[in-house]
Structure 1
Amino acid sequence: MITLPTTKELVASIDAFLDRHSMRPTRFGRDATGEPQLIDSLRNGRSPSLDTAGRITRFMAKRDAEAAATPAEQKEAA
């Protein structure tokens, strides 16, 4: 069974992501979906489509994985 996050939960996970990556909301929206105002619209009550929610979660997972791999790769290069 797939559990989908509420918009409030999705925004909370995006906010945590923004903090982890020191990223501005407009950059996140542009990079994740091509919509610079995405985060503002979600915070103001917009419900994302399933496609948009999927793009957001895949973007965050990919960036988190890249960030986790970076320190190990730097150690190997040293």
Structure 2
Amino acid sequence: MQLLGRIELYLAHTETAPTTFSRAATHDPRFVFDLRNGRRPRPATAARIHAWLDRAEARA
């Protein structure tokens, strides 16, 4: 699954605000908004976010 799609599902499921997720996962409060506007993260950043989501989903 694409990164933004996975993030959007996580946000909807957990009712988390985009800025809250962005700060927790990347320390960049605009990360989700930038992705929605076409930002393409580096492969290492995408892998780090996927790993963060894996851990968050495992805790849920």
Report the counterpart of residue 57 of structure 1 in structure 2. Answer: 50
Amino acid at match of 1:48: P
Structure with max Cα Rg: 1
CA distance in 1, matches of 2:9, 2:58: 15
CA distance in 1, matches of 2:29, 2:48: 14
Q: TM-score normalized by structure 1? A: 0.72
Q: CA deviation at 1:50?
A: 1.1
In structure 1, runs of 5+ residues without a counterpart are 68-78
CA distance in 2, matches of 1:20, 1:55: 20
Q: CA deviation at 1:37?
A: 0.2
CA distance in 2, matches of 1:52, 1:46: 12
Identity %: 37
Residue from 13, 27, 48 that aligns with 2:6: 13
CA distance in 1, matches of 2:3, 2:56: 16
RMSD: 1.1
Higher RCO structure, 1 or 2 (CA under 8 Å, sep 6+):
2
Report the counterpart of residue 16 of structure 2 in structure 1. Answer: 23
Amino acid at match of 2:23: R
